[in-house]
Amino acid sequence: MNSEPAKIGVFVCQCGKNVGGVVDTEKVADAVKDSPNVVLSKVHPHLCSYEGLSVIQNDIEEHGIDRLVVAACTPKMHEKTFRDAAVGAGLNPHCLDIANIR
Ligand code: SF4
């Protein structure tokens, strides 16, 4: 069993103006960046895009993230998308949590 502390990465999606127009996403990301075990907290305009998923995967690998939090739309829309991206970067698919902020 791994006894290393968890390394949590938080990704906040703007969904263009769907979220970014009504939620201060930078403030959300800032609010959690100093929380225990959070190694990275950032905002992206479209996390479900190819580019957005690449950012997540690159950060997982670069920062050794082993717990993923995605603040975006309902899990009904993209839970599989983000789980697949996590697996693609070598993460356990169950180490993902999605917060619906849309
Ligand atoms: S992940 Fe969801 S909230 Fe983000 S851009 Fe895609 S549809 Fe919009």
69 occurs within a structural domain: yes
Global pTM reads: 0.96
20 occurs within a structural domain: yes
| Structure tokens given for 34 | 């100093």
Residue 87 CA from chain centroid, whole number: 13
Residue 55 maps to which CATH number? Answer: 3.40.50
Q: Write down the pLDDT at residue 1.
A: 55
Could you report the per-residue pLDDT of 69-99, keeping only the tens digit for each? Answer: 999 999 999 999 999 999 999 999 999 999 9
50 occurs within a structural domain: yes
Residue 13's nearest CA partner among 94, 82, 89, 83 is 82
55 occurs within a structural domain: yes
Q: Write down the pLDDT at residue 33.
A: 97
Q: Write down the pLDDT at residue 4.
A: 86
Q: Is 8 in the pocket of ligand 1 (CB under 6 A)?
A: no
Calculate how far, in angstroms, residue 3's C-alpha sits from the geometric centre of ligand 1: 34
Q: Write down the pLDDT at residue 95.
A: 96
* Contacts for 2 with CB less than 8 Å, ≥ 6 apart: none
Residue 38's nearest CA partner among 12, 57, 10 is 10
62 occurs within a structural domain: yes
| Structure tokens given for 88 | 């693609």
- Percent of the chain whose pLDDT exceeds 70: 98
Q: Which of 12, 19, 50 to mutate to test the pocket of ligand 1 (most atoms within 8 A of CB)?
A: 19
Residues 45 and 55: beta-carbon distance below 8 Å = no
Calculate how far, in angstroms, residue 36's C-alpha sits from the geometric centre of ligand 1: 26
With cut-offs at 50, 70 and 90, classify the pLDDT of residue 2. Answer: low
Could you report the per-residue pLDDT of 32-63, keeping only the tens digit for each? Answer: 999 999 999 999 999 999 999 999 999 999 99
Structural domain containing residue 72 = 8-100
Q: Which helix (H) or strand (E) holds 63?
A: helix 50-63
**Per the structure, how many domains does the chain have?**
1
On the question of pLDDT at 14 being above 60, the answer is yes
Calculate how far, in angstroms, residue 23's C-alpha sits from the geometric centre of ligand 1: 14
2 occurs within a structural domain: no
